[in-house]
Structure 1
């Protein structure tokens, strides 16, 4: 079953009512934007204002995007398509595979593009047009299999055609194809298979996918996410577990966030997402979201007031202590591998993928306590971000 995030009242709104609603959101956004700009350092303030003024050039693209979001396109329509990106637009595919065999094996694939020129990990990426269903972008893939293995980190060509999205460069070629609820990811290097997995709907089809969107005025995002199971081969060895495949369209700047997705041996999953703005060394939360899927009862539980405390360890490793609702959730994670990314376009934005083990865990649900004894060991990723990126 596919869940679509949207206000129920919007279904019955007339076109005129939707236009008025969007206009009101825009006025509120302008007010909040101006307050945010005033808080920036002078250099960043000037660059931000200059970029905002250019938004008039993308007026038509933004209007088309706002209309498209009312059509509620399905997951496949979103995954297997290019968006006509306006100013500040970004479009990327992100896939994360975590094993269920008790080892620390994980695999990652990310590729995407933006509406403007940018620099990723020291490589200049030009804004390019879509020609013959292809466009230029950036391509990153890496894995942990008893050691860190970096497969590619370079420019790539993205092609979307006939329910298939492909990204390739001199190092690697990745094919993702199929239709809901069955997909295949096929990755090769110089003709040799690196990873090939069948991706399928989990047994509990109440927690398998999502189409979500959130626009405030001209800025916002739309995404399609698959919370699926997978089985296949990685480096010629059996590889199975839980995967998270996502297509995201972002219209607006990158601001810092805290995100993690942890997979437990019994199939339970804990996720949190906390976007925030840094001003004068202080963080201000925009949203606070945490949920726990209990595989034993097949129920999804949501928690408020999630807090993330980070502590450095030796050799660049870190430890995180996660709590929510005054102790109802308590989790300690420790990193064992990481991959860093940097984005430069007027501002600097840093993004780090940390692979983590769960050291301690306890969660209270309906008066019952669940610990690692019930869930088994936990494994996943913690994302660290900082800075600001247009």
Structure 2
């Protein structure tokens, strides 16, 4: 009799949990139906009440083509407990209203490379992320034990600052670019295999002026906000800026681990050159060590891009499963592309630098 009652209770518990899971998944679609994100700032300056498997993160990249000056700022969280490097992050105990008042707990990694001092890590820890402002300028501010980072403004002008202690490591004024698209909002909702899951993101493509590591500089900036309800799975991403204003973007999602052996399930690559976005098919990214340097080669018929890395910082995320995410700062060693029968070389686009992301493992 007791066993029978236990089976009935277990079945009821299972049904309750199933209804809860379905409700949280449905909540993800409702986020986008209710919010609509009509303007890019509506998504970028927002803190979401995350559904099941929910994640959100902000990513900012500053690059000076023709030099090694680069800076990367990342803040992120998930609904479930996650350990990022040495930081434990848990936000599920906070309600949406509480998050707006007191901020959210995030993991953050902010680092840069300056030619005089090399690699500097400003933040690699937990931070409190707050959102301030109203209809006008808004501000996201991340406060950690070793440093602070802030983004303030209204599309299309922002001021971004990164401090380690009281020392300003990045001070950048972001403005509209004359090269390529200013921004894009990407919807990846209800994929065929995992109905109800997906992601929404906004990508800003800007120019900037300011200082990296105390040195006056100017260049290109990429700001991104992603909110998703889906597992993190392996990918490679390459973003290169050239001195002429041209840029190259490559993304490949993979099903198996390993930067070279992964079976790709999605791939996109394009070159922005003289105001036009030119698709480059689905090239292959290869990587190897040459001495202490990691080399990268992105190639296909009509495309050759050789890269050499000079700095790297990694993330290890643990939550029942393990996900690794490595950021490599790279410079262009050689480039050639054939577009409509015309060859474009590094002499046409100028010196280049940027980032390669190598992500592997899974995080549900």
**TM-score clears 0.5:** yes
Aligned to 2:198: 220
Give 3-state SS (helix, strand or coil) of 2:348's partner. Answer: helix
Pairwise CA RMSD of aligned residues? Answer: 1.9
Decide whether aligned partners of structure 1 residues 54 and 96 sit closer, same or farther in structure 2, where only a CA change above 3 A counts. Answer: farther
- Report deviation, 1:282: 5.3
Contact 2:71 2:170 (C-alpha < 8 Å) held by counterparts: no
Residue 62 of structure 1 aligns to a residue whose secondary structure is helix
Aligned to 2:289: 312
Bigger shift: 373-382 or 62-71? 62-71
Report whether the alignment pairs 1:179 with 2:158: no
Greater mean deviation of Cα atoms: 342-351 or 271-280: 271-280
Higher mean Cα deviation, 244-253 or 230-239? 230-239
Q: Deviations over 1:194-230 (max 9, x none)?
A: 22111011124x5110111102212211101101000
Deviation for aligned residue 1:356: 0.8
| SS of match in other structure, 2:354 | strand
Match of 1:18 in 2: none
- Residue 279 of structure 1 deviates from its aligned partner by 7.1
Q: Check 1:67–1:164 CA distance in 2 against 1; reply closer, same or farther (3 A cut).
A: same
> In 2 relative to 1, CA 262–54 (structure 1 residues): closer, same or farther, beyond 3 Å?
farther
1:158 aligns with 2:133: no
Deviations, residues 50-90 of structure 1 (Å, cap 9, x unaligned): xxx96743444433431342424321011111111111111
Q: 2:214 is matched with which residue?
A: 236
Closer, same or farther: CA 54–323 of 1 in aligned 2, 3 Å: farther
Q: Label 1:265 to 1:59 Cα distance change in 2 as closer, same or farther (>3 A).
A: same
Alpha-carbon separation, structure 2, partners of 1:56 and 1:360:
55
Q: Does residue 56 of structure 2 align to residue 91 of structure 1?
A: yes
Residue 328 (structure 1) shift: 1.0
2:297 is matched with 321
- Secondary structure in 1 matching 2:127: strand
Asked whether 1:69 is paired with 2:48, we answer no
The answer to whether the Cα contact below 8 Å between 1:133 and 1:161 also exists between their aligned partners in 2 is no
Partners of 1:54 and 1:366 lie apart in 2 by 56
* Equivalent residues of 1:194, 1:234 under 8 A apart: yes
Deviation at 1:302, TM superposition (A): 0.8
Which aligned segments of 4 or more residues in structure 1 are displaced greater than 3 angstroms? 53-56, 58-62, 189-192, 279-282
Note the 1:265-284 alignment, pairs <5 A: 265-278=243-256, 283-284=262-263
Within 5 A, what are the aligned runs for 1:247-262? Answer: 247-262=225-240
Instruction: Give the corresponding residue for 2:350.
Output: 376
Range 59-68 or range 216-225, more displaced = 59-68
SS in 2 for 1:66: helix
Gapped runs of 5+ residues in structure 2? Answer: 1-15
TM-score (norm 1): 0.81
Corresponding pairs, count = 331
Instruction: Name the counterpart of 2:13.
Output: none
The structure carrying a bigger helix percent of its residues is: 1
CA distance in 1, matches of 2:294, 2:332: 12
1:360 aligns with 2:349: no
> Structure 2 residue aligned with 1:194, among 169, 184, 192?
169
Structure 1 pair 318–158 and aligned structure 2 pair: CA distance change class (3 A): same
**2:168 is the alignment partner of 1:203:** no
Whether 2:301 is the aligned partner of 1:348: answer no
**CA–CA distance in structure 2, aligned partners of residues 338 and 201 of structure 1:** 29
**Residues 242, 136 of structure 1: CA spacing in aligned structure 2 closer, same or farther, 3 A cutoff?**
same
User: Gaps spanning 5+ residues in structure 1: where?
Assistant: 1-52
8 Å CA contact 2:86–2:125 kept in 1: the answer is no
Q: What is the distance in 1 between the residues matched to 2:215 and 2:255?
A: 42
> Which residue, 109, 128, 131 being the options, matches 1:140?
109
For 2:49 and 2:22, the matched residues in 1 are separated by 12
- SS of 2:255's equivalent? strand
Distance in 1 (CA, whole Å) between partners of 2:17 and 2:141 is 32
Tell me by how many angstroms 1:299 deviates. Answer: 0.8
